[in-house]
Structure 1
Amino acid sequence: MTHTEPVLLKEPRGGVPDVIDTPTQFYDMVDRFAQADGPIAADAERASGYRYGQQDWLVQFKRTGAGIALVDPVALAQQGVSWGPFNDAVGDATWIIHDSLQDLPGFVDIGMTPRALFDTELAARLLGCQRFGLAACTEKYLGITLAKEHSAADWSHRPLTRDLRDYAALDVEVLIELRQRMLEQIKAQGKEEWARQEFTYLLAKGTAPREEQPDPWRHTSYISKLSHDRRGLAIVRELWEERDRQARELDIAPSLLLQDSAIIKAAIAKPRNSRQFASIRVLNERVRMHVGGERDKMFERYAPLQRKVKPSIWKQAILRALALPASQLPTASREGQESDDVGKAPRSLKYWRIHHPDRYELLEKSRARLNQIAQDTGTTADVLLRPQIVRNLCWQAGEGVALDTTELVVDFLERQGARQWQAELLGGALAAKVRQAVLK
């Protein structure tokens, strides 16, 4: 059997389109898409490594008969353009998106209302693919590899170069054909209903109102180094919140003002005077990104904004944290301990193994059974069932909750957020493992 090398697609077959950024161009696009038919290939580009937030700076579409459209949603919003006419033009058409949870929230923020979804990344996982990036999928199902060289570009900068427009257009160029091939395989494997339920779930989740994370500063990289240092955690919180205020005001990525590693270094050192503060160089120097090539020039565009934030701002934030009374210090991280949420299992397997060996054994056997079912069905294990749900099941079963019949487990899985196909496929197998553990 000979191996055929994938064909490199360097640019869209219909050429590289210009960016649509005026009302006239927008309504012309709407007319084209209204007169065409079939699903809509969609994608978006952000500038999260450069600008504050997750705003879409470019959105891309393709529909058979309408071609590719590259749209500047920021420019259109500034001119009062509404996405209502586009929503009406595409109606109930299926939107084809790769990794839809990355793009759907931004689409909703802009004003788009997708009504049906086909997620090519999720489809690849349902089909058991071990590599499910867009390029890997096009290689496997279409024999095409995409020229992808600008994924970390500053998409907020205008005008967009031809290379960037080419890159953006390629993201939607073959999604329609890719969906067709994947759909054929999904039907051949008898997973059409699985896919329908999954896409319905993703669409609802991706278009739901965003939930604010409590204590977002706790997601600072390397914060586990301070898990039992409440004063250090106070410094992390104060620096994170000050950085966020400055970044929001200047519309710049927080990491370009102060990197997480610098926050942690300050929290460990706890500088109390000017000499100690000056000794921590990362707090006194402008953040410089050196990743090579054109991206270095992109980062340097933000140097004037970076210079507006003086080191004294970080010093004052640290001093505020050091002056807090003990009663106002944040609590230590509880990672690895039992969750405050009733019934929610801890994530740390070390904690399970040391403190709850019986539950750990049940968890290991349940995971092994899931992996076998994943292999038998040609599906990746985490698509069969979210790992946290498996942990919750085994945790509660270990507490004596009745979960030893198929009906009880199916009900539990669905209440935990599993889709019907998952609960029905796995309920019996997981109930059997619980019964074995109870009878042991």
Structure 2
Amino acid sequence: MTGTVSTERSVPSDNDPRFHGEPKLMTEPRDGVPDVIDTLDGFHRYCDALAQGCGPLAADAERASGYRYGHEDWLVQFKRQGAGIGLLDPIALGQQGANWDEFNQAVGDAVWIIHDSLQDLPGFFDIGMRPLNLFDTEIAARLLGLHRFGLSAATEYYLGITLAKEHSAADWSYRPLPRDWRDYAALDVELLIELEEHMTRDLKRQGKMQWAQEEFDYALREGAQPRKPHPVPWMRISHITALSHDRQGQAVAKALWEQRDRLARQYDIEPSLLLSDAAIIEAARKKPHNNREFRAIRSLNERVRIHTGSEQDKMFERYAPIQRAIKPSLWKTTIQQALTLPPSRWPTMPAQHHDAQTNAPKSMKYWQTHHPNRFETLQRVRATVAQIAQDTRTPAEIIIKPQILRNLCWTDRPNDRNVAEFLTEQGAREWQVHLVAASVSRAII
């Protein structure tokens, strides 16, 4: 199949903006697969092209999640009318002293069209880009009530085109980027401008354009904030709650996590490629005290291997030399040192406090068993929001975050609250407060 597909179709009626017919697969951009821009000359030329272009800017980014330690962007993709698609290597350009203010000036106040912007905005700001206006096609898809929110699902719904998506989990730090990877990256921005046009019409038709704009502005503000470190990083270990009542086990887990993190940072490798979370939990539970017990835990003695049955396996194998450099004896020493710690030096898991200003419990069984009156109020509030969602054809979780409703009802006298003020304090946008505050106030009386 050729890369170019026809998007000609009958204009949808005001009552049904969907594409009707058999969707077509787009395998490459209409103008071909671009090369990566990794020189200052190429950067300057593309900035000039962007400045001469017009309209919004389609944007996306690729990281090396699952392979490298950091979360930096290894490729950023753009498209603008008159400038075409640009695949930029921000690492190489940064090493050569690229000035991203030149890029910002070229783009100006153009609307950035991004799918799932909170994934990409932090990286853009870290590089030095400064988007001023945003249209998030995933947020729009949710507001419009689409059942599937992925980019390919959205382009299929509105444009009748599905995108070839084989390299989403690739190691984007690999150089040179193969042609099919560049193809994948370019497709991520190829249709965003057309998609935004259709979604904007649909948002206006449904009377949701102002809602969407508030959500876009909120996402842009959030994406511009510095990344917040986890307050207790080692507690990000998967299934750490298995050690809730084992403080010595927590000491072993914490020591292994910190050692793994130090090595991963040093070698610039994904921590779980050195030692899996499952291995940390197993070691913390079994607490091997001698060589025999240590050898019995296979996950501590074998190199981490990931088998997907795909091209990914070769990508993971590129990191085998680093994995082999970390000997099992290092984990053994770390465990032994943790086991010698006195109880006074064992870590303590922070207590979980349930209050309306943080997070009320999510378990409905807990609500029903321990706070039946609060549970009854919450059920009335949820039913009210569900009716609003049905009336507006908008998912209830988009109308208002479920956690905000739980927080609101996490008291025996919720009717003492000014609901509108509470929702605002909890982060609800103005459109959400205006839509639900009065009805919810009646529900909690």
TM-score, with structure 1 as normaliser: 0.94
Q: Aligned equivalents of 2:358 and 2:62: distance in 1?
A: 39
4+ runs of 1 displaced by more than 6 Å?
Answer: none
> Aligned pair 1:144/2:161, yes or no?
yes
Relative to structure 1, is the Cα distance of residues 164 and 192 closer, same or farther in structure 2, using a 3 angstrom cutoff?
same
| 2:357–2:407 contact (8 Å) kept in structure 1 | no
> 1:414: which partner in 2?
424
> Aligned pair 1:7/2:17, yes or no?
no
Counterpart of 2:421, as a letter, is D
Measure how far apart 1:191 and its partner are.
Answer: 0.6
Measure how far apart 1:315 and its partner are.
Answer: 1.4
Counterpart of 2:25, as a letter, is L
Q: Aligned equivalents of 1:60 and 1:297: distance in 2?
A: 25
> 2:114: which partner in 1?
97
Which of residues 170, 183, 186 in structure 1 aligns to 2:187? Answer: 170
Which of residues 235, 244, 248 in structure 2 aligns to 1:231? Answer: 248
* Structure 2 unaligned blocks of 5 or more: 1-15
Q: Aligned equivalents of 2:396 and 2:173: distance in 1?
A: 38
Which of residues 338, 342, 353 in structure 1 aligns to 2:368? Answer: 353
Q: Aligned equivalents of 2:291 and 2:136: distance in 1?
A: 54
Counterpart of 2:31, as a letter, is G
Q: Aligned equivalents of 1:159 and 1:279: distance in 2?
A: 42
Deviates more, 1:164-173 or 1:324-333: 324-333
Counterpart of 2:423, as a letter, is L
> 1:388: which partner in 2?
403
Which of residues 393, 409, 416 in structure 2 aligns to 1:402? Answer: 416
| 1:130–1:380 contact (8 Å) kept in structure 2 | no
- Structure-to-structure mapping, 1:187-336, within 5 angstroms: 187-332=204-349, 334=351
Q: Aligned equivalents of 2:115 and 2:209: distance in 1?
A: 18
Q: Aligned equivalents of 1:381 and 1:220: distance in 2?
A: 31
Measure how far apart 1:328 and its partner are.
Answer: 2.3
Q: Write the deviation string for residues 117-172 of structure 1: whole angstroms up to 9, x where unpaired.
A: 00000000000112100011000011100011110011100000000000000000
Q: Write the deviation string for residues 358-384 of structure 1: whole angstroms up to 9, x where unpaired.
A: 112222222222222112211122211
> 2:173: which partner in 1?
156
SS of residue in 2 equivalent to 1:38: strand
Q: Aligned equivalents of 2:419 and 2:357: distance in 1?
A: 18
- Structure-to-structure mapping, 1:62-77, within 5 angstroms: 62-77=79-94
Q: Aligned equivalents of 2:118 and 2:45: distance in 1?
A: 29
TM-score, with structure 2 as normaliser: 0.93
Relative to structure 1, is the Cα distance of residues 173 and 400 closer, same or farther in structure 2, using a 3 angstrom cutoff?
closer
- Structure-to-structure mapping, 1:368-379, within 5 angstroms: 368-379=383-394
SS of residue in 2 equivalent to 1:324: coil
SS of residue in 2 equivalent to 1:389: helix
Deviates more, 1:106-115 or 1:322-331: 322-331
SS of residue in 2 equivalent to 1:39: strand
Give aligned-pair identity as a percent: 61
> Aligned pair 1:425/2:440, yes or no?
no
Q: Aligned equivalents of 2:288 and 2:65: distance in 1?
A: 31
Measure how far apart 1:351 and its partner are.
Answer: 2.4
Q: Aligned equivalents of 1:134 and 1:324: distance in 2?
A: 51
Measure how far apart 1:29 and its partner are.
Answer: 0.1
Q: Aligned equivalents of 2:361 and 2:420: distance in 1?
A: 22
Counterpart of 1:402, as a letter, is D
Counterpart of 1:292, as a letter, is G
